[in-house]
Structure 1
Amino acid sequence: MNTLEVSNLRLWDALTDTILVKDSSFQIKPERCLAIVGESGSGKSVTCRAIMRLNRSNIRQSGSIKLNGMNLTGLSDQEMRKQRGRQLCLIMQNGMRAFDPSSVVGNHFKETLKQHYGWSKTEIIAKMAVAMENVMLKDPVTLMNKYPHQLSGGMLQRMMIALAIVLKPTLIIADEPTSALDTLSRYEVMEQFISLKSETGCSMIFVSHDLGAVKRIADDIVVMRDGEIVESGAAAEIFTNTKHAYTKYLIEAKQALNSHFIRSMGGLKLVDR
C-alpha cells in the first residue's frame, strides 16, 4: 500500500473562481521522499496545505487524498485534527511561525505531545532532550525555556525536526524548510532532514526551489507549473533524462548558477577548498 495517494486533486478560490491546482495525482511509497519542485505560484504549497486540510476557507478542493488507505477528505474537522502531528507532520518554511511568540518553545512540545500521547511533563522533556541532542542542539532544556525570537531560524527548524522524531508520524511534509536560512544553516538543516528520513523510516514530501537539495534527498520528483504536474518520475531519471522543456529549464538554470558561482570564486579548485 502507498503511504499517500492523491487522486484528481483540484483546488480553486471560491471568491474569484481562480483555479489553483487543476487535476493532480501522485503517490508516495513507504519510506520514500517525494520532492515537489516548481517556481513560486506553481501550486506546491497549496497542494501541501490541502493534504493537511489547512488552506483558507475560501480555498475549495475536490478529489481524493488517502493516507494508508484512509480518505482524509471524508474526515470531520475534529478527526482531522487528530491526524495532524501524530500521522501528518508539517515543517514550515519559517520556523518562527510554528511557535507561539508569547510562550517558550517547550510549551509547544508539551501541548503537542500530551495531546497525542498523554505523556507527563517529565517524559516529554526527557524525550525531547534526546531528540534535540540528536539534531545537534546543545543544552536542550535551556533551549526549551527560550522564546522563539531568542533562537535562530536554523535552531527553530531543528526543533521542529526533533519534534517530528518524537512524534514518529507516517508522513512528514517539509514546505521550503531551508529557503529562509543562510547558507551554513541550510546545509546543516538539510543534513538533519536526510538523517530524519533514514532514522524514522517515514515517508516525506519535500517542497523546494533548490534542486541541489532535492537531488540530495529525493527518491521521486513531481514538477509543477501553473497548477499542473508537467513531469514526474524517479529522481535519478528526472535529473539525467528529463522529458519536459520546463524541467530542463529548471535544471539548466541551476547548472548555470553553479557555473557562475564557481567562476566568481576563481575556479573549481578554490571552491573545493
Structure 2
Amino acid sequence: MESSLITQVQKGDAVPPAKQECNCRSSLSQRGSFRATGPLSYCWVYSVIAGLVKKSSPTKPRSRSIFKALFCCLRAQNAPQPPPCQDHLLQTEENGLVAKIPGTCLLPEVTPQDQGKVCVVIDLDETLVHSSFKPISNADFIVPVEIEGTTHQVYVLKRPHVDEFLRRMGELFECVLFTASLAKYADPVTDLLDKHGVFQVRLFRESCVFHQGCYVKDLSRLGRDLGRTLILDNSPASYIFHPENAVPVVSWFDDLDDTELLNLIPVFEELSQAENVYTGLAHLRTP
C-alpha cells in the first residue's frame, strides 16, 4: 500500500514532508529483523503490527482533494465496498490448493504456468515507483491522467533495480499487482513498468477493504491458500489483517543509490522454495 502514493519528490510541493506518510499508518510495538540464512547475508527490519492509528482528516485545499481522489491512503468517507470473498465456503483440495467458488474471490484460477508457485502480492507506489504532479526532470514516465475533467501530467520515477527485481519475481512466483490507487493512474503506469508481463492480475482501490479510514489489502479475499501467499508493501496499514504474510520494504522516493529491491531478490528466492510461507518467514526472522 502506498504510504503517500504520489507524494512529491522536491520541497515546495502540495504535500509537505510532514504529511508524506500515510495518515493511517499502523503503530509498531516491536522491532526485530529478518536475516537470511545459509549463503544469504541480507537482513532488514521487520515490523510487527500492534494497532491502527485512527486520525481524522482536516479540510484540505483543492490540490489535496484532487490528490486524494486519485491516490490511496488518505481518508475517504464513501469508498466503494466490493462483496466479500466467501472464505467460509472455500475448501482445501487434496493438493493443498483452495477450491474457489466462481465469482466470489478477487483472483481467477491459477494459470498453468503458475501452478505450484507461491502467490506474491506486490504494491506499486513507494514500493516500485514514486510519482509526482510536479515536473521531474529525470522522470522515467509521464502519464496523463484525467481528474474531474482536467488532464494532469503525472511524473513517475522507477525505483532502482525494479526491472531486474520484477523479472526475477515473475520467474519465481504468481505475481499480483495490488494498489489502493485508482486504475486510471495505476493501470497506465503498470503498462509502462511491467515490460515482461510479470503481473497476471492487477487489483486497484475497489478491491481493497475500507477499514477505519484506510484501504486495506485483505489477502483472504484473493482465493489463494494464505499459507502460500506473500505481500510486499511499504505500508504496514495495508496488510494490517495479515502481518504474518508480509515482507516489509522501505518506502522509496528519490534515492538513486537505493538497493532495497536488489537485496530482496535472494530473500524471495529462498521464500519461493518454502512449503509454507509462515515457516519460511519464521526461518528468516530473528528475535
TM-score (norm 1): 0.27
| Bigger Rg over Cα | 1
More helix as a share of residues = 1
TM-score (norm 2): 0.26
